Amino acid sequence: MTLFAKCTLCGENVHIDLTQKNIICPHCITPFVFERTAFNREMSVEALAINSEIEEKNEILSFLGDKVSKLNTKKAETERIIKRNRVCFRLTVFAFAVSVAVLLFLLFTGLFDSLFTIFSGVAPPMAILGALIFQADGLKRLTDEMKEITDEIRVRKGIAEKIEAEKQELMKGSV
């Protein structure tokens, strides 16, 4: 809050600092004492309360900013893992398709001559199918985690924007 008073010597406006008792006129360098009335005390208490609330909102904004920063880091890391897992998933799908094609080729050409060779031919595609299911589940969990992180970032940014608006309103009201 800005307060002005008239200088007792030159009559010019002098900015009053509520924390100072002795004030010097910047125009004529005349010192004078600012007497604090009940009104001035109420105004300074109100200004201190507003400053305290603004500082509290700044601390909350700083905390939210740190949280959002950490969430963005986690989001970037999760995105890298998802990309890597998608590549692995595609390679596993390709390996499954190749192993099934080889198995079908061997079955239709009659190269399987015993039950053992049939089971040994079926085992790789089944193992790869298990890996595909495992990878698909992992990708789904990572995608769900990514969605939760994104939602949390959105919520925290919304809270931060609301607090920033309240802080700006407080600052406007205190001037």
For position 140, what pLDDT does the model report? 83
Secondary structure (3-state) at 18: coil
Report if residue 87 sits inside a domain. yes
Q: Are residues 62 and 31 in the same domain?
A: no
Of 47, 122, 156, 136, the closest CA to residue 92 belongs to 136
Is the distance from CB of 138 to CB of 84 less than 8 angstroms? no
Please give the Cα distance from 93 to 96 (Å, whole number).
5
Q: Which residue range(s) make up the domain with 169?
A: 50-174
Q: Are residues 75 and 141 in the same domain?
A: yes
Mean pLDDT in consecutive groups of 10 residues from the start of the chain, 175 residues = 66 73 75 60 58 78 85 86 83 80 73 60 73 80 86 87 82 63
For position 88, what pLDDT does the model report? 80
For position 33, what pLDDT does the model report? 66
Report if residue 43 sits inside a domain. no
Is the distance from CB of 152 to CB of 130 less than 8 angstroms? no
Burial of 14 (0-12, 13-18, 19+ CB in 10 A): buried
Q: Are residues 129 and 163 in the same domain?
A: yes
